[in-house]
Structure 1
Amino acid sequence: MRYLVLFSLLVTFVSNSAEHIDDHYYQTHSINALTGNDGYSFIVLGDWGRNGHFYQKPVAKWMDIASYQLDAEFIATTGDNFYDNGIASVSDPYWQTSFEDIYHQPHLFIDWHPVLGNHDYRGNWQAQIDYSNVSRRWEMPSQYYAKNIALGNENALLLFIDTSPLNPDYANEPKYLAAYTQGSQTQLLWIEEQLKSSNAKWKIVIGHHPLYSSGKRYGKTDAIRGVLEPLLEKYDVDAYIAGHEHDLQHNQIQGSDLIHIVSGGGSEVRPVSTYPFTKFAKSTGGFVAVTLSDTSVLFRFIDHNGNLIYTHEAQ
């Protein structure tokens, strides 16, 4: 009996110590000026699955801290979830080495809502959907899907779309014919119906390919832009969030209210430049935190060192 009591005391001590260490960690590791968790927040990560290489691990660390500070509801991805050639099955070791072992921190065990990128189509893209039946936090019901969010007196509509089948640039790309030959009309009709029938205060679309880029693909996005931009403009979409470019960007076209965000700094990074539509562009690892309220949508860009490097608010 005495040993049982001692063991119970030891377990209690260790448990309390762990809680103290955990609390201390988030008190001493924080992102300056990342305040205001009274809205509905989520984190957007893109171009990330590289077995922990490049900036993937430090980005994961600061995502966890941001999620703690903002009490984030979920994590969205902008695609290219597994480099270089996607995954083979739901039991592919990449699930462990590129996802489970990297994003293991306590505040990353919330829902993940991914979209597919072009590199995901080099492998078994259906396995990424099927992994939703394996992992509680991986929530990808289909290639494209909607999420409705209640915001007090208002609401928001988020569309998670699959841009590879929509991208005319892939018509002659052997690596991506499995995507492009699926056709685009069914998905485009679905996108239009979702936007047309929504009375949401905020409409946000999340996909892989950007419509404008201040990075590597500057001047090379005309094809996908011609497909998507008319729909997004017609139905007053507030923001289009993409990846594909390995950096962080905010682009704004003169005369348009549509906000173009690129969150592709999940691991490897590439150079960026400044163009007439560039509001912000930086070649850095990192992610974007989005906070929605009845009156505003706030985008905060955080780099792999835990610095808040850019903020944009729309009302």
Structure 2
Amino acid sequence: MTRKDFQELLKKVNSGNASAQEEQALWDWYEDFGNDALPEDGILTELEQDELLADIRSKIQPATSIKRSFTLVYRIAAAVVLGGFLVLAGYVYKNYLQEGDMRYSTVPKGERRKLTLADGTMVWLNADSKLSYPKAFAADSREVSLSGEAYFEVKHDASRPFTVHTSTIDIHVLGTIFDVKAYPQDRQVETSLIRGSVRVTINTGTNNGRQVILHPNQKFVLSNAPDARSEQTSIVDNSQTLVNEISGLQLVKETGWRNNSLSFENEQFPDLVPKLERWFDIKVVIQNPQLNNLRFTGTLDNAGLDTVMQALMLSGHFNYRKEGEHTIIIY
């Protein structure tokens, strides 16, 4: 691998645009790491290596469970610097950890990310989301685990069903397009189907073991609160689960986050606040409890925090102020 090829690979991995095969190529390079494996003209002097490693260690305290990943950071850091900056250290530490044959992709608040799995399945991860998936899928199944929200375009493979595990539901598919929202702190878990079909299995509460089949333009909702009820017309309805018919336009709005479009439909502050906190990496404090009864509907494309707050304020007739860089007080 030439230095130029190596630089291009690092740039793609760091920007989140690398395929699973390209990410694997980087890990394979690491596994074969040695003087002969270094890119041409990419070797630092011994003094530069020591200074760089000291700088990294001053900023990062590696945990035992991710020791191997930090070792990767140190060794690549000692080998290659592009344009005077360490390219992979922050990326591996924050967004991509490896333990054995598993991969862990973490997206912090305020960011979104796209990745391609080993089978060609494409996944978009929303802010504050985590996806774990194997380096290579098994011969008879494909399984991943999600906390947060993700949009999946699953590569069709009839011999290997694709399963998304969350803390409360499992979604089983062969090849389809769907969105899953399963944030632990949210009041409900949702799965919206765009194309194909999926089988949702509930693995918690009184509905444990129950299965529901979704068809295009349907949305499955499981309440995380025993007394919470949806106000939408439902096909399947009991105290905790609903399957709703939704329009194509609503699907576009709900999945628009992939294109930096923030959308909310008849949402009250208790549901809207967590979304805003994840989207902008902020803390929202509501000082007047009566404001929790307000409802908001709207779609804002590529909008900054001030634009969103001004739009909400005009609609809800409340006031807000900023405290520091990351706190919004609503009153």
For normalisation by structure 1, the TM-score amounts to 0.29
For normalisation by structure 2, the TM-score amounts to 0.28
Q: Which has the higher contact order (CA 8 A, sep 6+)?
A: 1
